[in-house]
Structure 1
Amino acid sequence: MKRALLAERLAALQAAFDASFAEPARTRAEEPARALAVRAGDRRLLVRIEELAAVEPCRRIVPLAGGPPGLLGLVGLRGRLAAAYDLAALVSGRPRAGADAAGGPAPRWLLVCAEHPDIALAIDEIEGHASIPREGARSAAGEREGAGELVTEAVEVDGGPRGLLRVAAVADTVLRRAQRGAERPKEDR
């Protein structure tokens, strides 16, 4: 009796396996992208998880004097140093509340850029997880001032629009600013 049940089960599994090859392959474009809903200062954004190397709790950030705008300092992440940038300052031009005052609230999380793991973006809060369609984001032009090329699309999540952060564009902006700072004559610093 057990052998008959086992043989029947094996035949069903083989049929299901064979049938899976008859179905059209799902493309990556059909699958929704996974994203984190985050808050940086007063900005509520979505960040595609595939654009991140890691999400780390924010540890001690060692400040650096004379760095480019938005640079909070250096932070140790898994035995490596990374430059920690205030995402609120980069996106809106305004730092997080109290970020420039002594004793102000420290960021809680660091989003490590996948393409540049030596760049970490400091945020205040992770608000949740979202699935967003790969197609269906709309232009974020006019949504909020100051985001420029960093937030070019918006997605409806929980009944309201959220800007979709382009992590690679943030890293490129940070690298351009750092390069401009390195090119300045020492007497200008």
Structure 2
Amino acid sequence: MSRALLAERLAALRGAFDASFAEPARTRAEEPARALAIRAGDRRLLVRIEELAAVEPCRRIVPLAGGPPGLLGLAGLRGRLVAAYDLAALVSGRPRAGVDGAAAGPALRWLLVCAENPEIALAIDEIESHESFSLADVRSADDERGEGAGEHVTEAVEIDGAPRGLLRVAAVAATVLRRAQRGAERLEEDR
């Protein structure tokens, strides 16, 4: 490479470097949010990827009798046990037909491991797609009954012309932990 060409290239790199400081800083709000479009029972929802520690195939769940509502049982993931819950039952508040924690029930395909509580996994039927959306597109789901408005779904985003409820994974995990605590307290009282 000639000296002149090298000097020209160095000047271009210096100019690009200096120009990068003149551009306004990007904020997190400008970056698109990433989510998985999922199906849990008859509910079609979005789950923010940053709220998940992992997505694993649902292989075998060992049922536990007498557990809290929605508990399917225990599943082994990468050498550790997680409590597997039926997300459809947790979001709707009613058990899915044929699933009661002690029965085999329908085959669920995926486990979404909660980022804040990795000992909890949410069993779902299907991952439909990967989606990106602007945070400016997020709106309240309070008036949208078809999106699954409730304590676990308070916001919605329009995807492919239809609204999808945005699941709050931390709220689902908090519900699971509250129910488990109440169950432990009842057992203690019965002793």
The answer, yes or no, to whether TM exceeds 0.5 is yes
Residue in 2 aligned with 1:177? 179
Residue 31 of structure 1: CA displacement? 1.2
Structure 2 stretches lacking a partner, 5+ long: none
Residue in 1 aligned with 2:41? 41
Residue 12 of structure 1: CA displacement? 1.6
Residue 79 of structure 1: CA displacement? 1.1
Structure 1 stretches lacking a partner, 5+ long: none
Return the TM-score normalized by structure 2.
Answer: 0.89
Question: 1:6-64, CA deviations, whole angstroms, 9 ceiling, x for partnerless residues?
Answer: 43333222211221111111010121210100000000000000111111111101111
Residue 78 of structure 1: CA displacement? 1.2
**1:146–1:132 Cα change, 3 Å:** closer
Residue in 2 aligned with 1:67? 67
Q: How many residues matched?
A: 189
Residue 167 of structure 1: CA displacement? 0.5
Instruction: Tell me the distance in 2 between the aligned counterparts of 1:104 and 1:89.
Output: 12
Instruction: Tell me the distance in 1 between the aligned counterparts of 2:148 and 2:127.
Output: 22
Instruction: Tell me the distance in 2 between the aligned counterparts of 1:171 and 1:53.
Output: 13
Aligned residues of 1:155 and 1:164 also touching (Cα < 8 A): yes
- CA-based RMSD of the aligned residues comes to 2.2
Instruction: Tell me the distance in 2 between the aligned counterparts of 1:11 and 1:44.
Output: 53
**1:2–1:62 Cα change, 3 Å:** farther
Q: Alignment partner of 1:65: what SS?
A: coil
Q: Alignment partner of 1:135: what SS?
A: helix
Residue in 1 aligned with 2:162? 160
Comparing 16-25 and 169-178, the one that deviates more:
16-25
AA of the residue aligned to 2:165:
G
AA of the residue aligned to 1:138:
R
Aligned residues of 2:63 and 2:104 also touching (Cα < 8 A): no
Q: How does 1:96-111 map to 2 (within 5 A)?
A: 96-100=96-100, 102=103, 104-111=105-112
Residue in 2 aligned with 1:148? 150
Identity of aligned residues (%): 86
Higher helix residue share: 2
Residue in 2 aligned with 1:123? 124
